[in-house]
Amino acid sequence: MSGSEKVGGGRRRERRKDDRPAEIIDAAIELFGESGFGATRLEDVARRAGVSKGTVFVYFANKEELFRAVAQTVLASKLGGVRSVATDFDRPVAELIPALLEQAAQVMESRLPAMIRLLIAEARQFPDLVRVWHDEVASKMLALVTGAIRAGQDRGEIKAGDPRIFAISIISPMFTLAIFREVFAETDIDLPDLGPLARQHAATILCGMLAPK
C-alpha cells in the first residue's frame, strides 16, 4: 500500500524498454484476434498495451512488421508441442494417433486457432508469412504423420493407400473444429468439444486404417 502504486493506472510514463515489445505484441494478439488485421487500429493496440501510438513505431517499423511479430510469437510458442510429439516417432500407429490427437486437442485450446484464422484471412496479403506457417508448422506436422503412416504400412500394420491422404484424414477434424469454434464463437451455435472429438475420431479412423489381420 505504502510506496508501490498499483501498476495499472500508476505513473504515466515509465521507461521499460525491455518489456514493451512483448506487451505490445500481447495487445496486438488480442486485438488482431478480435477484429482482424485490417480493422484493428494501431492506436487501440497502443492503448491496450498501456503505451502511446508513437511507442509502437519505436519497436515495430510498421503495422505489417507488428503482424509478423505477432504471428511468429504465437507460432514459436506452439512449436514445442509439435516437437514433443515428434519424438516418439516409431511407436505403433495404434498408440501414436490417439496421443497425437489428444495433443492436438490441447494445442487447439490456445490462441493458435485465432492465429490460424488470421493467417487464413491475410494469406494473400502476407505470402511470406504463409510460407513461415507452412514450413514451421503445417509441413512438419504433415511430415510427422505421413512418416508414421509409412512406417506402419511397411510393418503391415496399416492398409495400402496414399499416406498424405491418410494424414489429412487423421488431423483435419481437429483443424476444422478449431476453425468452426473461432468463426462461430460469438453466436449461440453449440459445437462438440475438442476432447471427445479427438477420442472418438482416433478410434474411428484407426479402425478404418488398420490392415485386416
Cα gap 209→151, rounded to integer Å: 13
Nearer to a second copy, 151 or 205 (CB): 205
Under rule CB under 7 A, residue 121 binds DNA: no
Under rule CB under 7 A, residue 35 binds DNA: no
C-alpha cell, 18: 525491455
Please return the burial class of 47, using the count of CB atoms within 10 Å of its CB with bins 0-12, 13-18 and 19+: middle
Under rule CB under 7 A, residue 52 binds DNA: yes
Give the residues lining the site for a second copy (CB under 8 A).
34-39, 117, 119-125, 127, 130-131, 134, 138-139, 159, 161-162, 164-166, 168-169, 171-173, 175-177, 179-180, 182-184, 186-187, 189, 192, 196-197, 200-201, 203-209
Nearer to DNA, 41 or 131 (CB): 41
Q: What are phi and psi of 114, to 5 degrees?
A: -60, -40
Nearer to a second copy, 3 or 127 (CB): 127
Nearer to DNA, 11 or 213 (CB): 11
Query: Which of DNA, a second copy, none does residue 40 bind to, with CB < 5 to 8 Å depending on kind?
Result: DNA
CB of 164 to DNA, least distance (A): 39
Query: Which of DNA, a second copy, none does residue 182 bind to, with CB < 5 to 8 Å depending on kind?
Result: a second copy
Q: At what angle do helices 163-183 and 139-154 cross, to 10 degrees?
A: 140
Site map (CB under 7 A) of DNA, residues 57-96, x = contact: xx--xxxx--------------------------------
**Which residues fall within 8 angstroms of residue 71, CB to CB, at 6 or more apart?**
115, 118, 119, 126, 129, 132, 133
Going by C-alpha positions, the residue among 107, 188, 94, 89 that lies closest to residue 143 is: 89
Q: At what angle do helices 93-107 and 63-87 cross, to 10 degrees?
A: 150
Cβ atoms 206, 97 nearer than 8 A: yes
Residues of the shown chain interacting with DNA in the complex, contacts defined by CB under 7 A: 11-17, 20, 40-43, 50-55, 57-58, 61-64
